[in-house]
Amino acid sequence: MTEDQISFLNRLAIKAGEEIMKIYAEPFDVESKADGSPVTLADAAAEKIILAGLAELFPDVPVVAEESVEAGHLPNVGDRYFLVDPLDGTKEFLKKNGEFTVNIALIEDGVPVFGVVAAPALGEIFWGGALAGEGGTRQQAFRGRISNGDVADSEAIAVRTPPAQGLSVLASRSHMSEETANLIGRLQVAEQLSVGSSLKLCWVAAGKADLYPRLAPTMQWDIAAGDAVVRGAGGSVVVAGSYADFVYRVPENPHKNDLLNPHFVAVSSKALLPDLAPAA
């Protein structure tokens, strides 16, 4: 991913966020998807902007986007495709707490090689992955401030070294499961933090927490961009139980359920993984 491509995708996420904020500022209607989850006009408006931008700069790369999939459009994608969640954290959007995000990720051979996560209500943006720079491509991650349609005050971010005792653990604000609570209960936890949407992954990447377990349903587009940021910052996203590295795949002639994720854990360090296993 080149600097020009990164700048384009970051600005595209910001532009989609600006459209979301127009709707966020006014009264809006809420509908329900087939699975009962909420959706608003903001989801569709943001996705329209993102799809148009991706078609402009990456016309040959297929796109798997949440609202398009809900409408029945799920293309065959091969080994290189974009994953788009135009508004992750709709429940946070409805609560007006600002903890919702715009997510764009590029997948290559099962790996999120780039992801941008914009939080328009908070004025924050995170991006990372396998980024080109001096000396070639390497894993990097950054955080910036959204200002006048662009990124300001960007800085490199990295996961933190886990403390010897007392972990900082992230949990979903709106989707806490019994399995997740049980896993957290096995750990030595100094503080438990809650935040909405893919911001949890970005907080691990930025060194605000040591791990984020998610033992509840998610879709590929929910986490791919944040996963890229975590990897760029030096952390890992692994499958819960096996603790194998997370891999993204879309089979031929796919259906929506093919994009369901296994349960996962985002960690600042794989040295934490033995502590996550149940006692024998």
Judgement on whether residues 110 and 182 belong to the same structural domain of the protein: no
- On whether 101 is known to bind a ligand per the annotation, the reply is no
Last residue of a domain, one of 128, 156, 184: 156
Could you read off the pLDDT of 220-263 as tens digits, one per residue?
999 999 999 999 999 999 999 999 999 999 999 999 999 999 99
The enclosing domain of 236 has a CATH number of 3.40.190.80
- On whether 89 is known to bind a ligand per the annotation, the reply is yes
- C-alpha dihedral over 249, 254, 256, 258, to 10 degrees? -40
Residue indicated by tokens 């709707």: 23
Could you read off the pLDDT of 96-144 as tens digits, one per residue?
999 999 999 999 999 999 999 999 999 999 999 998 877 788 999 999 9
Q: How many residues can be counted in the chain? A: 280
- Alpha-carbon distance of 37 to 35, in angstroms, equals 6
Residue 7's pLDDT is 97
- On whether 88 is known to bind a ligand per the annotation, the reply is yes
- On whether 218 is known to bind a ligand per the annotation, the reply is no
Judgement on whether residues 115 and 197 belong to the same structural domain of the protein: no
The enclosing domain of 133 has a CATH number of 3.30.540.10
- On whether 110 is known to bind a ligand per the annotation, the reply is no
> 203: domain range?
167-276
Last residue of a domain, one of 127, 156, 185: 156
- Alpha-carbon distance of 46 to 29, in angstroms, equals 16
Could you read off the pLDDT of 18-27 as tens digits, one per residue?
999 999 988 7
Cβ atoms of 112 and 224 within 8 Å: the answer is yes
More confident residue, 244 or 278: 244
Residue 50's pLDDT is 98
Supply the pTM of this predicted model.
Answer: 0.94
- Alpha-carbon distance of 219 to 118, in angstroms, equals 18
- On whether 66 is known to bind a ligand per the annotation, the reply is yes
- Alpha-carbon distance of 13 to 104, in angstroms, equals 7
- Alpha-carbon distance of 265 to 200, in angstroms, equals 11
- On whether 67 is known to bind a ligand per the annotation, the reply is no
Domain count, the chain: 2
- Burial class of residue 32, CB neighbours in 10 A (0-12, 13-18, 19+): exposed
